[in-house]
């Protein structure tokens, strides 16, 4: 998630980040599982941090529903409804559409957003 402040102060960096993340999501969807796992292992090794890459072998997907990471109000509404049910929010207090934007995602144009 990018903050409103970062979006305002660094719009070019924000756009590049969102575009790169969207391309990576679609690459992971189109590549074979073996290719994705191998790439993740190489990334972890190259970073040279004290990271455990043993769990990468269990990778199955990024768990992102929308093409290129596009977000939808429905994904947020599930959580809003849950918070209202639990009494943490009042009904109508938050609109799902106010919590996200697909404005910088290059896949938004191809999806009519």
- Summarised one tens digit per residue, pLDDT across range 38-75 is 999 999 999 999 999 999 999 999 988 899 999 999 99
Domain segments of the chain as ranges: 4-108
Q: Give the pLDDT confidence score for residue 110 in this predicted structure.
A: 78
Over residues 23-44, the mean pLDDT reads: 95
Q: Give the pLDDT confidence score for residue 68 in this predicted structure.
A: 94
- 85 vs 65: which has the higher pLDDT: 85
Over residues 99-104, the mean pLDDT reads: 93
Answer yes or no: is pLDDT of 19 > 90: yes
How many whole angstroms separate alpha carbon 27 and alpha carbon 35?
Answer: 10
How many whole angstroms separate alpha carbon 17 and alpha carbon 2?
Answer: 9
How many whole angstroms separate alpha carbon 68 and alpha carbon 46?
Answer: 25
pTM across the whole model: 0.79
Average of per-residue pLDDT values in the chain = 93
């Amino acid at each position: 998630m990018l903050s409103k402040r970062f979006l305002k102060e660094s719009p070019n960096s924000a756009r590049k980040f969102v575009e790169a993340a969207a391309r990576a999501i679609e690459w992971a969807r189109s590549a074979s599982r073996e290719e994705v796992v191998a790439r993740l292992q190489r990334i972890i090794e190259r970073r040279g941090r004290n990271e455990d890459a043993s769990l990468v072998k269990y990778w199955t997907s990024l768990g992102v529903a929308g093409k290129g990471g596009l977000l939808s109000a429905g994904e947020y509404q599930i959580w809003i409804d849950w918070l209202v049910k639990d009494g943490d929010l009042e009904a109508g207090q938050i609109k799902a559409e106010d919590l996200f934007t697909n404005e910088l995602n290059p896949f938004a144009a191809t999806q009519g957003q």
